[in-house]
Structure 1
Amino acid sequence: MTLEQARFPIGRWQYSGMSNEAEAAARVERLRLLPEQLRAVLLQGGEARLDVEPRPGAWTPRQIVHHLADAHANLTIRVRLILTEEQPKVKPFDENTWAELVDASSAPVEESLRILDGLHSRIARLLATRPHSDLAREMLHPEQGLVPLDRLLSYLDWHGRHHTAQIAAAL
């Protein structure tokens, strides 16, 4: 396995443009199922394996689970802002620094799994009720410029599957 394959087991994220209604519905369903799939992967490993770096300098599976909760909480808030404001300006966060905080390196993964359960259940419920046209609504990111909701959801979907695959490979 190459370093690229180890870092991106499902490939790098690519956005191919606005999804159609069927693609958007499938994405929402994958988001709803992510916490369940992540739990299934975590059950394959043991508690001791959660703190082993899969390669030098990489986050441990524990850090990845906590990162998912942090990142998906931020992304969920962005979704809600996009749906309730006109081109809201969002703030980036330093995911590497957050992953080094003591809770990300030592807290039980169940704490973040419970966060993901709630976030993904609510975001899937919310998105399933919105018209497809809402996917064109945008946020203003200071580094990326205007980002449509469809692009953000594409990333959120990939991000969860990407890190789940990294954890599966590490365990």
Structure 2
Amino acid sequence: MSKAPDNPSGPFDPVETFDEVKKTELIEIVKQAPARLREAVVALTDSQLETLYRNWTIRQIAHHIADSHLHSIIRFKWALTEDNPIIKAYEEGDWVRLSDAKSGNVEPSLLLLDGLHAKWVQVLESMTEEQFGRTFRHPQSGKTVDLWFALNNYAWHGRHHTAQILWLRDQNGW
């Protein structure tokens, strides 16, 4: 098997300024992300779910997406209701080492993503250009992040990790 690529879905290339057409495209990507992840993992055996993509198993990647996107909708809501709030960071590497991510059934994370993304899409579709300019601060990096950049980032994030799983499937002929 060849070396796993850094970004099998392509590099993160955000659209710098708000664009209504791009907003619609990005929201559609967020909307479709749970179904695309489900398609990527649903037929895999427990043994296949334990296959590593670099440092994380497919199982850990699936649970990570749910954990990460759960944090994201909360960050959006904080930024929409508070002035430049400092968000709560988390150590994703520690989270994927917890037993639910290491050995748990992926179905609860897939179900969580179904509901979470349906709710998140409602929030995103209702947002104005001005609201996409609202910001939060990350406590570790100190960076201020606007919600337009965050939307670009999380649309890419789901595709990025699902592409890792699809790359493994392709490499292993599953």
TM-score over 0.5 for the pair: yes
Question: Which residue does 1:19 correspond to in 2?
Answer: 18
Q: Which residue of 2 aligns with 1:162?
A: 160
1:146 pairs, out of 133, 139, 144, with: 144
Name the structure 1 match of 2:106: 109
TM-score, with structure 1 as normaliser: 0.91
Segments of 5+ residues of structure 1 without an aligned counterpart are none
Q: CA RMSD in A?
A: 1.6
Residue matched to 1:38: 37
Q: Which residue in the other structure is 2:94 paired with? A: 97
1:10 CA displacement? 1.5
In 1, Cα distance between the equivalents of 2:103 and 2:44?
17
Q: Deviations over 1:11-69 (max 9, x none)?
A: 232334123011011111110111011111113533320011134xx200000000001
Q: Distance in 1 between matches of 2:2 and 2:40?
A: 22
Stretch moving more, 59-68 or 11-20: 11-20
Q: Structure 1 44/133 Cα, relative in aligned 2: closer, same or farther at 3 Å?
A: same
The one-letter code matched in structure 2 to 1:149 is L
Separation (CA, whole Å) in 1 of partners of 2:42 and 2:92: 25
Q: CA deviation at 1:122?
A: 0.3
Q: Offset of 1:8 from its aligned partner?
A: 1.1
Q: Quick one: distance in 1 between partners of 2:119 and 2:99?
A: 28
Q: Which residue identity lines up with residue 34 of structure 1 in the other structure?
A: A
Q: Size of the alignment, in residue pairs?
A: 168
- Secondary structure of the 2:149 match is helix
Which stretch of the first structure deviates more once superposed, 6-15 or 64-73? 6-15
Structure 1 or 2: larger helix share?
Answer: 1
* TM-score of the superposed pair, with normalisation by structure 2: 0.90
Per-residue CA shift, 1:57-94, capped at 9, x if unaligned? x2000000000011111111001111111111112211
- Aligned counterpart for 1:130 among listed residues 127, 132, 136: 127
Once structures 1 and 2 are overlaid, which stretch shifts more, 36-45 or 74-83?
A: 36-45
Distance, in Å, in 2 between the alignment partners of 1:2 and 1:24 is: 36
